[in-house]
A = this chain, B = another copy of it.
Amino acid sequence: MGRLANGGITLHPELMSTKDQIITAADILFYAGSIREVSVERIAEKAGVTKKTFYYHFQSKDELVATYLEARLKPTIERYQKWAGLEGALADRIERMFNMLAASAEKQTWKGCGFLRAAVELADSPGHPALAVARRHKAAFEEWLADDIRSAGFADAFSLARMIMVLLDGAVARMLVQKDPSYARDAAKAARLLLESQTARRPVYTD
């Protein structure tokens, strides 16, 4: 199996604790490569510490993997929320989110969803702590979508949120396999059609 060269990205030790430096290094290497392929040694090296220091801060590689995903939770959901924005009708906002995803996937550095990739890579270790983090992330994401859809006055927000989650993860999966970002545009179209298929109830302003 192939080996990845060190990306050579420099961190900023003066701004971070040793532990955060390790997490940042792990984030870069795990996302650019893969969890199993990147060794503790390489992470420690990139963080500018030794393995001994690494094992002072983390009990095991598995713990680091879970921490790595944990650190991605908030930034990831906030990125999608920013993509959707607050302007316009729900269908437009969802479409914008998918189109921004497509644009993001066009970048060389795009390697799919870290949570989905972790879940796949660790599919053979059902008890791995990182799997719980991935599930939690996706559940929170779906909840955000459902709240948003409900606020826009749609009747079956729960079901619509689940369908849009399927489209999101599906778009990521298709783009990852086929290396073709346009699948996110198909997903955007599908999301719009699904939203339009529901009767949008206007929110009731009681005042």
Chain A residues engaging chain B, CB cutoff 8 angstroms: 1-2, 4, 32-34, 36-37, 61-62, 111-112, 115-117, 119-121, 123-125, 127-128, 134-135, 138-139, 159, 162-163, 165-174, 176-179, 183, 186-187, 189-190, 193-194, 196-197
Contacts and interface: CB of A to CB of B under 8 A. Distances in A.
21 contacts: A2-B124, A32-B124, A36-B37, A112-B120, A116-B177, A117-B123, A120-B121, A135-B177, A135-B178, A138-B174, A138-B177, A138-B178, A166-B167, A166-B183, A168-B170, A169-B169, A169-B174, A169-B177, A170-B171, A193-B193, A196-B197
A126 to B, nearest CB: 9
Report how many copies the assembly holds. Answer: 2
A115 to B, nearest CB: 7
- The binding surface of chain A is classed by DSSP as helix
A116 B124 contact: no
Contacts of A187: 163, 166
B176 A61 contact: no
B177 A166 contact: no
A131 to B, nearest CB: 8
Contacts of A162: 183, 186
B62 A1 contact: yes
A77 to B, nearest CB: 15
